[in-house]
Each structure stands twice: as C-alpha cells, then as structure tokens.
C-alpha cells in the first residue's frame, strides 16, 4: 500500500533510501525546470567540462513547458511533459549529482540503471493535471536560457507538489510492476 | 434560390476566440462524468488518486479560468456549412484563424504550432488551424473546435490492412496501438477509430469519431458491439491511468465506418488524452 511522504529539497541519501515505488510524495522547496532544448545545452556544457548555470547537486529537475502566466500569477498551467525524450541526457546529469527528476511516462533501461547507480529517484506527476500542479508553485524565476521561451530553465518554489515514486533506487519500476499487476490475460 | 443567410466574418472570429478559451478552461460534463465513473470503478489505489487529481484539476481550471493542460493543443476545427449560408465581410478560413489567434492570446494559452515541420520556427499565435469543412442542406453554420494535444496525437497510427484481416485484424491493430503508446498519450484515453474509406479518409473518420459525446452508444448495434469489444481488450492491458497500472486505460472507444475499395481495409487510430477539449457553436437561422 502506498504511503504519503513529505519531502523538502535538496534531497539527501536518507530521503531516497526510504522511498519505494507507489509511494505518494509531496515535494516542497526548490525545483528546476528543463525540457528538450535546455537538456541539450546542459549536457553540452558537461561534455565540454564547463560549469552548469545552476548547482544540480541533490536537486530535482522537472520536465515542463508551462503555458504563459496570467498577470499576477507566478506561472501558467504546468503539467509534466513526456520523459522518454530526456532519457538520452539523464544519466549524465545524475552522474553530476542530480537527485531526482519529475515527468510523465516510463524511462529507458539505461536511466533505470543510472538511478540505481547514483541513488536517485524518478517521480511521475499526473500528465494533464496542469492547473492543479500550478497551484503548488508559489514563485517562479528564470535562471538560464531565457531565449528558449517556454523551454527556459526556471527555478520554482513549490509547496506540497504531488508526485508518485515511479522508479526507486533499488531498480524497481512502477510502470512495469503496476501494469503486470492489473493486466488480464 | 432562397435568400442567403448572412453571417459576418467578425462574428465567426469572436465565437472561435471564445471556443478556444472555453474548451481549454471548462471540461465538458460528459468527460467529467466519465472521470467520476472511472474514479468509482478503478481498483488500483495509485490510479484512483490520478482520477481524483484530474477531477480536482478540472475544478481549478474552471474556477481560475486557466488551461487544464499546459499543452493547449493544435486548433482542429470542424465546419458544417449550409449551402445557403453566405459569409460577409471576410473569408471563412481567415475568420477562423483570426479567432484562434485572438483566443490563444487573450486566454494565455500556449502557442504550439511551428511554421515548418523541419525548420521548427514557432508561428507565435497557434495558427494555422487544421480545418475540415462539410456542406449541408441545413440553414446554419456549425463550428466545432477541438484543442488536440501533441502527446496523444503522436501515439496515433494508421494501417492499410487486407480484407482478409477482417474484424479480428482491425481489433488487434487498435489494441496494439494502445499498448505501444503505453503511458505516453496520458491515459485514461479516448480511442477514435476510423475503418474504411481511403488512407486519408480513415484518419479523418477516426478524428471525427472523437466528437461524439462520451457515454453515448453508437447508433449502429454492430459498431456499438465492436466498440465494446475493443474497449474490453484495451482495458485488459493493465496500463491504467498514466501507465502506472490499473483497470481503466481507456474511458471510451468510438468507431466510424465508411465504404471502401474492394482491395482495401484502411484502419486509423486517433488517440485522445483525458483532457478532451471540444466545444461547438451554431450560427444562423435554426430552430
């Protein structure tokens, strides 16, 4: 049965060892946004041995491209985008100390292996629950790549941002195990 | 010939602009009902929580007049135009595109169209709309707007089967399409299936089938049975809401059939996510 756990960023090893697939987690603190184009740039910096525009050690990256914010609101609707497009970049970021990612949909074998190796978590947020998730965002500011528009890297201050553990540090995969459990042959 | 019924281009623009916002902010009652039923029926606690979140999300979107999903879609517009209708003060397609431009700006909706599929430069205003037009003998202009998300559209497929593949071949292709898609189209999904016609027409049938309200039965009993069988097979997959495992992967399967060539059996599967955003307006003289 799934537990409800409150976590505050930055995450520690102590936080992640206790997480198991299916656990519901409410995340508070700072998370960073990045999707396709920003990932490409981050990994190019890593490959060139250069510094990243923010310190990713023990941080969380959220895969999102929000809709425009209405005046007076920190952010527009901001549900997760599909994670597999980031699979090719994720292991390199995990090797740099990134502790978790948030997105929707399943990850590749290589990412699941890297999560195990670097003791990191993949959280699933509900795709399409974009207004609900926007309500958990209290502040948003661009930290890099403003030229990318909706794909710029933002620093979000979140409170009780709802996610579920989809891949834990033990190699478990909720997408595989959950589906196997409810499949009828 | 009867006197034409005149409809102004500016009225069309204004209505389309409103439809764009209305569709993205206010989920229709048939979809809400389907989500509520799914919440009740679902056996997986994780998937049940997803349905609870989606219902809460729809409520927040309506109250705050903000898009229920950040992917506010491609503007797909279905037009039914009476042969006696005359558009004045502008052209129909220009008026529709102007409405999309205005609605996406005023509603703070995301602009997701690029000018060219290879050069990928954003058009900046979510135009052009994808417009399908049909002439009717009615004395009105009916405009149906659909905000179609990219994630689910990407998981759609088409096959040119052989007549020998028959019903079993069609069902297998539909179920296989959903299984390949897995979590990517944001299940719980709605599955639109077009069988027959030609390569292009099957795809249009699949998309049009999505316009039928959820929870309604197909008028043709044979097609209704086919929909039921496909839905059962899809939900046996265990994919569940968001692909996290569960009993409800699809909330509905809609099938449309059409005559086709003696050598052909085209089948198109258009997948729609749970954020099923469709709104209609009717202009002109009608009862």
In degrees to the nearest 10, what's the CA dihedral of B194, B197, B201, B207? -20
Residue B147 DSSP SS3: strand
Q: Residue A1 has what pLDDT?
A: 44
**Where exactly are the structural domains of chain B?**
151-272
Query: What pLDDT is recorded for position B125?
Result: 97
Q: Which of A79, A73, A81 is nearest to A130 (CA)?
A: A79
What's the pLDDT at B287? 52
In sequence order, what are the residues at sequence separation of 6 or more whose Cβ sits closer than 8 angstroms to the Cβ of residue A178?
A21, A22, B44, B46, B238, B240, B243, B244, B245, B246
* Alpha-carbon gap: A11 to the closest alpha carbon of chain B (Å): 23
Residues 6+ apart with CB under 8 A from B161: B169, B170, B173, B265, B266, B267
**Residuewise pLDDT in 10s, chain A (185 residues):** 467 999 999 999 999 999 999 999 999 999 999 999 999 999 999 999 999 999 999 999 999 999 999 999 999 999 999 999 999 999 999 999 999 999 999 999 999 999 999 999 999 999 999 999 999 999 999 999 999 888 899 999 999 999 999 999 999 999 999 999 999 98
pLDDT of chain B along its 287 residues, tens only? 578 899 999 999 999 999 999 999 999 999 999 999 999 999 999 999 999 999 999 999 999 999 999 999 999 999 999 999 999 999 999 999 999 999 999 999 999 999 999 988 899 999 999 999 999 999 999 999 999 999 999 999 999 999 999 999 999 999 999 999 999 999 999 999 999 999 999 999 999 999 999 999 999 999 999 999 999 999 999 999 999 999 999 999 999 999 999 999 999 999 999 999 999 999 997 65
Taking only Cα atoms into account, the Rg of chain A, rounded to an integer number of angstroms, comes to: 16
Choose among B72, B237, B243: nearest Cβ to A175.
B243
- Please indicate if any CB of chain A lies within 8 Å of the CB of B249: no
ipTM: 0.93
Q: Do residue B243 and residue A65 have CB atoms under 8 angstroms apart?
A: no
Q: Does B90 touch chain A (CB under 8 A)?
A: no
Cα Rg of chain B (Å, integer): 19
So what's the pLDDT on residue B159? Answer: 98
Which residues of B are less than 8 Å from A134 in CB distance? 66
User: Which region, left, alpha or beta, applies to residue B229 given φ > 0 means left and ψ of -120 to 50 means alpha?
Assistant: alpha
Question: How far apart are the C-alpha atoms of A177 and A183, rounded to whole Å?
Answer: 10
Any A CB within 8 A of B186 CB? yes
* Spatial contact of A173 and A167, defined as CB atoms under 8 Å apart: yes
Q: Which domains are seen in chain A, by residue range?
A: 4-158 (3.20.130.10)
Q: How many CB atoms lie within 10 A of CB B202?
A: 27
User: Residue A120: its pLDDT value, please?
Assistant: 98
| Beta strands across the sheet bearing B277-284 | B130-136, B74-82, B140-148, B277-284
Task: Tell whether A4 is within 8 A of chain B (Cβ).
Answer: no
Which among B46, B182, B183 has the least Cβ separation from residue A164? Answer: B46
Tokens for A69, please give them.
């914010």
Specify the pLDDT at position B256: 98
Q: Is B72 on the interface with A (CB under 8 A)?
A: yes
Q: Please tell me what DSSP assigns to residue B114.
A: B
pLDDT 10s digits, A110-152: 999 999 999 999 999 999 999 999 999 999 999 999 998 888 9
Q: How far apart are CA B113 and CA B122, in angstroms?
A: 6
Question: Do the Cβ atoms of A185 and B243 come within 8 Å?
Answer: no
């Amino acid at each position: 049965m799934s537990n409800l756990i409150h976590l505050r960023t930055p995450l520690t090893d102590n936080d992640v060892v206790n997480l198991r697939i299916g656990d519901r987690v409410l995340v508070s603190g700072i998370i960073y946004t990045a999707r396709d184009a920003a990932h490409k740039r981050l990994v190019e910096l890593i490959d060139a041995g250069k510094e990243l525009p923010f310190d990713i050690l023990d941080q969380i990256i959220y895969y999102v491209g929000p809709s425009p914010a209405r005046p007076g609101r920190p952010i527009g609707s901001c549900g997760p985008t599909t994670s597999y497009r980031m699979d090719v970049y994720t292991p390199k970021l995990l090797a740099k100390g990134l502790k978790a990612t948030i997105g929707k949909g399943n990850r590749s074998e290589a990412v699941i292996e890297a999560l195990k190796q670097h003791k990191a978590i993949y959280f699933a947020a509900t795709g399409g629950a974009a207004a609900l998730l926007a309500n958990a965002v209290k502040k948003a500011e661009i930290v890099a790549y403003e030229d990318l528009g909706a794909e710029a890297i933002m620093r979000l201050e979140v409170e009780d941002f709802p996610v579920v553990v989809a891949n834990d540090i033990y190699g478990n995969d909720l997408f595989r195990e959950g589906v196997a459990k409810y499949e009828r042959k | 010939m009867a006197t034409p019924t005149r409809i102004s281009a500016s009225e069309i623009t204004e209505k389309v602009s409103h439809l764009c916002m209305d569709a993205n902010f206010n989920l229709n009652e048939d979809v809400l009902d389907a989500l509520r039923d799914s919440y009740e029926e679902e056996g997986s606690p994780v998937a049940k929580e997803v349905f609870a979140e989606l219902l809460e999300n729809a409520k927040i979107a309506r109250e705050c007049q903000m898009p229920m999903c950040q992917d506010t879609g491609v503007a797909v517009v279905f037009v039914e135009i009476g042969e006696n209708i005359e558009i004045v003060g502008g052209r129909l397609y220009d008026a529709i595109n102007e409405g999309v431009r205005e609605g996406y700006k005023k509603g703070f909706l995301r602009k997701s169209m690029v000018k060219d599929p290879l050069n990928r430069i954003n058009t900046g205003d979510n135009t052009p709309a994808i417009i399908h037009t049909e002439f009717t003998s009615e004395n009105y202009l009916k405009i149906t707007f659909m905000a179609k998300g990219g994630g689910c559209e990407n998981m759609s497929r088409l096959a040119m089967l052989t007549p020998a593949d028959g019903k079993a071949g069609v069902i297998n292709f539909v179920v296989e399409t959903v299984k390949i898609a897995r979590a990517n189209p944001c299940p719980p999904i709605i599955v639109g299936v077009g069988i027959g016609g030609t390569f292009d027409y099957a795809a249009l049938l699949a998309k049009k089938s999505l316009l039928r309200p959820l929870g309604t039965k197909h008028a043709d009993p044979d097609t209704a049975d086919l929909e039921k069988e496909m839905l059962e097979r899809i939900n046996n997959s265990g994919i569940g809401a968001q692909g996290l495992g569960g009993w409800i992967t699809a909330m509905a399967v809609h099938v449309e059939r059409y005559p086709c060539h003696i050598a052909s059996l085209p089948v198109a599967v258009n997948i729609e996510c749970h954020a099923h955003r469709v709104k209609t307006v009717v202009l002109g003289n009608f009862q």
